[in-house]
Amino acid sequence: MSIEARLKELNITLPDAPAPAANYVPFVQSGNLVFVSGQISANENGLITGKLGADLDVAAGQAAARRCGLALIAQLQAAIGDLDRVVRVVKLGGFVNSTADFTDQPKVVNGCSDLMVEVFGDAGRHARAAVSAPSLPLGVAVEVDAVFEVK
């Protein structure tokens, strides 16, 4: 099944690839690897802000991380055109805006990781980091960057 068909089957509509917010590019391809810059949590209503452990629970954090994943896939599509060129999701780097005593960063970033497996199947299984940050740009709840292997 093509990735486009899989997205339709999952009832997933990708957002437009967000424009960079500062002096960087949204993606860089080097050889068969595409590095996608960090995508911040946002939905059709705007930014998803707040601090895990204070303002947001794990489920809300997972939803925010999933939105980061959708933006990552949208950026990847902008970079390579055809998502069927994806060989592997190589690595995700997840940053969670959280209180000092919040320790469920891996559960939050699962919102993005689970999406990658839903969309890309076994090729969506990846290495990952899930870390806490005392704040993130614009007060967002989650930011995730990624490395993809393409053919």
| Average pLDDT in the chain | 97
**Whether residue 151 has pLDDT greater than 90:** yes
The stretch 37-43 carries a mean pLDDT of 97
pLDDT in tens, 102-117: 999 999 999 999 999 9
Q: How many CB atoms lie within 10 A of CB 9?
A: 10
pLDDT in tens, 117-147: 999 999 999 999 999 999 999 999 999 999 9
Percent of the chain with pLDDT over 90: 97
At 74, the pLDDT band (50, 70, 90 cuts) reads: very high
Q: What is the pLDDT of residue 85?
A: 98
CATH class of 3-150: alpha beta
The stretch 71-79 carries a mean pLDDT of 98
**Whether residue 21 has pLDDT greater than 90:** no
SS3 content of the chain, % helix, strand, coil (to 5): 35, 30, 30
Report the Cα–Cα distance between both ends of the chain, in Å, rounded.
Answer: 17
In sequence order, which ranges of the chain are alpha helices (DSSP H)? Answer: 3-9, 58-80, 105-120
Q: 110 near 65, Cβ under 8 Å?
A: yes
| CA–CA separation, 119 and 150 (whole Å) | 15
Percent of the chain with pLDDT over 70: 100
Task: Count Cβ neighbours within 10 Å for each residue of 137-150 and write b for 16 or more, e otherwise.
Answer: eeebbbbbbbbbbb
